[in-house]
Amino acid sequence: MPVKVKPKFDFLFADTSTPFDATLTVPATAEDLVTVPGGKKGRAISIVNEGPGDVAVAFDAEATAADLLLMEGDAYDDAMLEIATKVSFINVTMGQSPRLRGILWSGE
């Protein structure tokens, strides 16, 4: 008789949502749009750059133009994260004001 192994799921639990919707109007200036709730860690994030223009994203640091680039129309989703403090964005397109929408899920 074959042995059936029960899978173990090691997903980190996220119970607090922090939605955001912002327009980056000042080029080349980092903005901390999302703060992780106290005593928790950011576990999953979804971001949509509606444009116009491109943005860069950094976790737990001030964003620079060399960070994760989201071009106009791009979306970014990630899970199994451990963001401790903030999510920072920077407008890397002069003369444009990109709109960002998304949600950060946090938990223990």
> Domain extents for the chain?
23-107
CATH architecture of 23-107: Sandwich (2.60)
Compute CA 47 distance to the chain's CA centroid, rounded to the nearest angstrom: 6
Q: So what's the pLDDT on residue 6?
A: 62
Confidence of residue 14 (pLDDT cuts 50, 70, 90): confident
Residues 65/29, Cβ–Cβ less than 8 Å: no
pLDDT surpassing 90 at residue 12 = no
pLDDT at position 11 over 60:
no
Helix, strand, coil content of the chain in percent (nearest 5): 0, 50, 50
Give the residue among 76, 86, 98 at the shortest CA–CA distance from 28: 98
